Amino acid sequence: MAVREIKCLPTEVLRKKARKINDFGADFQTLVDDMVETLRSAPGVGLAAPQVNVSQRVIVVEYGDENDEEAPPKLFVVANTEIIHTSEETVLGTEGCLSIPGFAGEVTRWSEITLKGQNRRGKPVKIKAKGWLARIFQHEIDHLDGTLFIDRAEKVWKIEEEPDKPVPVD
């Protein structure tokens, strides 16, 4: 496993739609392992393959239960991710991004989503997420389509402008 360089704007791969994954072999497994190590090293709560300069549709998310601070964070690896259901309710929240360091923004996201995809071995998965976990998944899935939080943000600012405001980053 290796920590990969996280690409920042204006790196072109961040603005392209990532390719579907068909081969879940050794190269893909190495990519996933490296993405997990990179995510933990950053540190962040989510990472999409384009952020490490790989145009493939895979995300890793590691996030704990917001209602149980004692529980260890859960790791999700989802390839070929697709949102299949959304709540009607949306929520405005603050986001940051490892690919846009030093900035945060207010972004409206669905409060609950259901997504489907494949796990790291290529087996089908379906995940229901709400709250911050739903926000993280939406942020990472956007990366797979070349969309960044600043494209959706109602307001963007330098983090130094509001140093006491906690900012979740992917």
pLDDT in tens, 86-127: 999 999 999 999 999 999 999 999 999 999 999 999 999 999
Q: Over the stretch 19-57, which tens digit does the pLDDT of each residue have?
A: 999 999 999 999 999 999 999 999 999 999 999 999 999
Give strand ranges (E) for the chain: 46-48, 58-63, 74-86, 90-96, 103-110, 112-118, 124-130, 155-158
Catalytic positions = 140
- What is the β-pairing status of strands 155-158 and 124-130? unpaired
What's the start-to-end Cα distance of the chain, in Å? 20
pLDDT of residue 169: 56
Is residue 79 predicted with pLDDT exceeding 90?
Answer: yes
pTM of this prediction?
0.90
> For domain 12-161, which architecture applies?
Alpha-Beta Complex (3.90)
Domain boundaries, the chain: 12-161
Return the SS3 of 70. coil
CA 136 and chain centroid, separation:
5
Residue labelled with tokens 């496993």: 1
